[in-house]
Amino acid sequence: MKKLINSPADVVAEALQGLVAANPHLALNADHAVVYRADGPTPGKVGVICGGGSGHEPAHAGFVGLGMLDAAACGEVFTSPVPDQVVEATKRADGGAGVVHIVKNYTGDVMNFEMAAEISAAESGVEIETVLVDDDVAVQDSLWTAGRRGVGLTVLVEKIIGAAAQEGLPLADVAAAGRAVVAQGRSMGLALTPVTTPSAGKPMFELGENEIEFGVGIHGEPGRERRAHASAAELAKALALPIIEDLPFVAGDSVIALVNGMGATPLIELCLMNHELGKILAEHGITAARTLIGNYMTSLDMAGASLTLLRADAQQLAWWDAPVLTAGLRWGV
């Protein structure tokens, strides 16, 4: 294993220090591995937090800042943050108007965020709403989830909820905005290569020279099937069609599209995948009103890609376009 690390045990702590050092708008509670807005919490504004295992950078600490998250609880690599971390993130985001917890649908995340919400409410009386993200159409139920996994749509939920909160909407409305995104968004991904965690020092699974894992999870969880590698056009269609059919998306829909890299896929290949996605959407009469291409919900050094489509209305597009200033996403400021 060749990695730019010191001790595997220190990867998350040292990486968070490096992130915060490069971004003056961020601050770090090192004891709890919580990254938060240095100018927060904002009095009277609904707080928005997310979190999860590290290894998905820039998610989620890289999305803390103006117009997005107020804090992120960062677990060890591919490990849910414990309740104390989520409680600390909630405190850092609480401006007196309540806090929204954005939770990806993994058993550990769901359990620990639920416990943290109960503790926070009991200790400080903060009102909390939870938005559960379960957008992965690849598998239903697994060793890691009851229901579908939360993957790339989480980035869109964070952006749209963050803008709604920044606009001054009350807690119930901010949470409702997030749930509306979850209801209208779907994702699926594939792996060209396995992922290697710093602690394991070897690939988490094996792929043959001409194999891909189709429908892979963001922690390397198995997908729908092993397939032979194919052209970008064939792979884009294999990802896009199940997404389109699941909601279903229909002619006349306007969508926000995310063409996401899994960590080790060159941007040129993601742009090529977006070209293929555009042709598929056009064949179905669907318009990509906005498109985001890049590594946003990754899996360490996995090569591969995921596609996310969100059926978006005018208000969601406006919130998407609203100013954002984070390490991983920024425009309009």
pLDDT of residue 205: 84
Q: Comparing C-alpha atoms, which of 95, 54, 60 is closest to residue 75?
A: 54
3-state secondary structure of 54: strand
Choose the catalytic residue: 32, 56, 60, 101: 56
Distance, in Å, from the CA atom of 245 to the CA atom of 249, rounded to the nearest integer, reads 6
Task: Give, in degrees to the nearest 5, the angle at Cα 333 between 25 and 37.
Answer: 20
Distance, in Å, from the CA atom of 182 to the CA atom of 156, rounded to the nearest integer, reads 9
Return the percentage of the chain with pLDDT > 70, whole number.
Answer: 99
Each residue's pLDDT tens digit, 97-130 = 999 999 999 999 999 999 999 999 999 999 999 9
Distance, in Å, from the CA atom of 158 to the CA atom of 62, rounded to the nearest integer, reads 11
Q: For helices 107-124 and 83-93, what crossing angle results, to 10°?
A: 50
Regarding predicted confidence, which is higher, 140 or 175? 175
- Domains detected in the chain: 11-184 (3.40.50.10440)
> Does residue 56 carry a catalytic annotation?
yes
Distance of CA 248 to the CA centre of its chain: 22
Distance, in Å, from the CA atom of 64 to the CA atom of 82, rounded to the nearest integer, reads 19
Beta-carbon neighbour count of residue 289 at 10 Å? 17
Distance of CA 306 to the CA centre of its chain: 12
Distance, in Å, from the CA atom of 4 to the CA atom of 107, rounded to the nearest integer, reads 30
Q: Comparing C-alpha atoms, which of 329, 262, 257, 316 is closest to residue 288?
A: 257
Which two three-digit tokens encode residue 262?
């899994």
Non-local (6+) Cβ contacts of 234 within 8 A are none
- pTM here is 0.97
Beta-carbon neighbour count of residue 254 at 10 Å? 16
Each residue's pLDDT tens digit, 278-305 = 999 999 999 999 999 999 999 999 999 9
> Does residue 32 carry a catalytic annotation?
no
What are the backbone dihedrals phi and psi of residue 108, each rounded to the nearest 5 degrees, phi first? -65, -45
Sheet with 71-77, edge to edge strand ranges: 26-29, 34-37, 71-77, 47-54, 99-104, 128-133
How would DSSP label each residue in 73-88?
EEEEET-PPPHHHHHH
Instruction: Check whether 52 has a pLDDT greater than 90.
Output: yes
Binned at pLDDT 50, 70 and 90, residue 144 comes out as: low
Choose the catalytic residue: 32, 60, 101, 219: 219
Distance, in Å, from the CA atom of 65 to the CA atom of 71, rounded to the nearest integer, reads 8
Binned at pLDDT 50, 70 and 90, residue 202 comes out as: confident
Q: For helices 171-184 and 314-321, what crossing angle results, to 10°?
A: 110
